[in-house]
Structure 1
């Protein structure tokens, strides 16, 4: 009886009733909030698919460009300014718009996709020197195929822009980054080498590309190395660039003089090189000298780079070297190279690209002055009268000086050797 009276009195107490009601309301709201959170998590896991792309991924910039093009209602954009120096020395400026940091929406194949571009202000990408960024795509559904189609389409649109052009990559940190704008393909016929050299190299690469199974069946490492040597200005780099365009390859320029380049990073770069690309190592004689040289000469080269001779040879044919790659090395002084560097297995073909021969002089004249090809032999004779070596770069410079005046040019052949 006493308990019933106590309960009755507490129920009639307004303070107790108010407190109990508030507590019950709080518990109820907390339960609803927790249930909502659990339901949201279950919904995202079961009914939504999310794709995160970091700024370190190669598809990151392709995706940004694609979103900018297709998210027509997006007004919050950022600009990326690029500079490109032409061969003439003129610098061109181009602007690209990309989605700014924040949230965007666009429709792809009748699916609305939410785009969140996030930037970590406190985290810096040490290789790129910019804040670390991610792009997160979210859409309803459970199939990942939609995102695969989106990435494939973004990649194809970017490749179409570069169709008929050669892309050059350079090493930035531990990855390859596009350097400048893609350049128009230079016709292979525009690079005049001595008779037979261009065809030998081209045929060798074509044969190499068609024999992957042959190499595998015989246990031979599937890689190919080329060394072009000779005086400067004779067409070594020009030929490699034109060859890349002819083969629809890109060019990865590897600078062994980079002070940040180490053996480990060198091997990593080789393993991460874009497919269908030529690895170009120019002036390799500047990186390593022959061991037989005097201590005084060797001291001049000490400390120029952090890549060791062992690291370079391991990259070329060691246990960690990559398969299916084509590497070109150039040098103006083949006598400075360590013989072990250019032995078979590391360098499979060596070609001398020397001063202009009569064949080259005549062919270059006909190509530049097709209307007066009958004067080609006379041009060769005039050049040989001076009994001095001449590079194709010197010849081209003379032709450019007298673009439409072959007769005047023939009277000023001595200008070839004037600085």
Structure 2
């Protein structure tokens, strides 16, 4: 009896191996793991396939990225989150290039994990077809990859290191045009042209035996636009950004070296606020697990990746060790200073749109009678309009191009040269984004009070509803008695006008 059972078990085992052998000979299969980037390619491709549009057994998802990472257009880029209809876990059949393929999608938990510790389940997708040639499935994969990459052609993708020492996609944002960065135009042009020349000179470096790497250090006061420029530079070059956080407690020297070596050949490797992690070579304040020598070896050691540009930012150049910023590691140093008056003028013009020139109205208004004109004059003489009320009435339309330039010149004239950062000026203008004339009127007070606990370079703005124009009339900085009084008087004037209109 036992012998017969042993024979049956042997025959089953042999049959299983024979079946697997035959499957490998007549079936081509590709497997995709949800922890790999290729998984996102396939889901993105499947979401647009005709089968996914009509499948009766489907799953609904708001993301198609591995590890539930958000992609462009998902959860935040639009008012309504993106929704994807995908084939549900199980077996599915579909057609591709007139060939029948079948797909099996399953969700599994990592071995040894529990419900409390497993987190998101791991998914596997296998796509198979009859035949011995891999050409069909390979063409499907390449098509899916191209389709996925096309999503990001107009965007900059940002990657960061996860707790496992691997790069993960964190976000993507629309490419920022370089002309939106307000800085020294000569410095901007130099850095951009230097970067373009570097990425076009791989053969030149190879012929001379030089490492194909480039280092860029941006330094200056906080808020001067260093990080913003890096994002605009990545958009101009069509590259992605890989961010290294030296303060992370999960990154060691070995992990950092692997991360840097795993960056693609064309990218920007960004280390922000490098002075906060390493002040001097023997610093005790370095991030846990990362040593100064480990950072240097990762940047330009034997295993360091070539073909990428290293970008570092710092607020304090004098705190950096010379070994970190020597030529070869840092090839270009760019100082980002505070705003000049010309930059303040440029920022104002970029901040406020210019209204198109309006054609003369063909509607002829009914002339007021002499009695009405006299009555209005008497009322204005008794209760003159506040200056801010008149300005607010003008704000129902944005200024023309000529007036915007005049306002920008008046604004810049009142800004001390190289005293405020671009971020401070932008914060002030944000409070007046619909009222440029009021911004010019109150910029003097901003200059006097900037840096105080009340203002700190940013206007505190509130808006009252304007029933006549559908716009907002701005109130001003909290804490200013004069402006609070103006606000109350303005509201009283509006309330009186409203009551008078009702009584009429």
Q: TM-score range by the shorter chain?
A: 0.7 to 0.9
Aligned to 2:214: 224
Of residues 134-143 and 48-57 in structure 1, the stretch that sits farther from structure 2 once superposed is 48-57
The 1:213–1:275 alpha-carbon spacing in structure 2 relative to 1, beyond 3 Å, is closer
- Equivalents in 1 of 2:99, 2:156: separation in Å? 35
Task: Work out the CA distance in 2 between the residues paired with 1:29 and 1:350.
Answer: 76
SS at match of 2:329: coil
1:179 is aligned, of 170, 175, 187, to 170
C-alpha RMSD over aligned residues: 3.1
1:51-200 to structure 2, matched below 5 A, reads 51-70=30-49, 71-72=51-52, 73=55, 75-77=57-59, 79-80=61-62, 93-123=81-111, 130-172=120-162, 173-180=164-171, 182-200=172-190
Bigger shift: 259-268 or 105-114? 105-114
Per the alignment, residue 446 of structure 2 pairs with: 415
Match in the other structure for 1:13: none
Using the size of structure 2 for normalisation, the TM-score is 0.69
Aligned-residue offset at 1:398: 2.2
**Correspondence for 2:323 among 321, 336, 340:** 340
Q: What is the alpha-carbon distance in structure 2 between the residues aligned to residue 35 and residue 305 of structure 1?
A: 54
The structure whose residues are more often strand, as a share, is 1
SS in 1 for 2:153: coil
Q: Structure 1 CA distance, aligned partners of 2:246 and 2:10?
A: 63
* Aligned twin of 1:49: 28
* Alignment CA distance shift 1:171-1:92 (3 Å): farther
How far has the Cα of 1:95 moved from its partner?
A: 4.2
Distance of 1:43 and 1:179 partners within structure 2: 43
Q: CA deviation at 1:322?
A: 0.9
**1:132-181 CA distances to partner (integer Å, 9 max, x unpaired)?**
4432221101111112211111112222222311111111223211113x
Report the counterpart of residue 320 of structure 1 in structure 2.
303
Aligned residues: 383
Distance 1:196 1:152, change over 3 A: same
Residue 241 of structure 1 corresponds to 231
The 1-side partners of 2:75 and 2:341 are apart by 34
Aligned partner of 2:288 in structure 1 is 305
Aligned match of 1:365: 348
Change (3 A) 1:359 1:291: same
* Cα separation, partners in 2 of 1:374 and 1:287, compared to 1, 3 Å: same
Q: 1:78 to 1:124 in 2, by over 3 A?
A: farther
Q: Report deviation, 1:361.
A: 1.4
The CA distance in 2 between the partners of 1:80 and 1:404, in whole Å, is: 35
CA distance in 1, matches of 2:280, 2:10: 78
Given that 1:67 and 1:106 are in contact with CA atoms closer than 8 Å, whether structure 2 keeps it comes out as no
- TM-score of the superposed pair, with normalisation by structure 1: 0.82
Tell me if the contact between 1:53 and 1:134 (Cα under 8 Å) persists in the aligned partners.
yes
The 2-side partners of 1:214 and 1:129 are apart by: 49
- What is the CA deviation profile of residues 203-246 of structure 1, one whole-angstrom value per residue up to 9, with x for unaligned ones? 00011011100100101100111010111111111111111111
Q: Which runs of 5+ in 1 are unaligned?
A: 1-22, 293-297
Which of 1 and 2 has higher RCO (CA within 8 Å, sep 6+)?
A: 1
Q: Residue 338 of structure 2 contacts residue 418 of structure 2 at CA under 8 Å; is this kept in 1? A: no
Find the partner of 2:426 among 396, 412, 418: 396
1:101 deviation in Å?
A: 3.3
| Aligned counterpart for 1:377 among listed residues 409, 412, 420 | 409
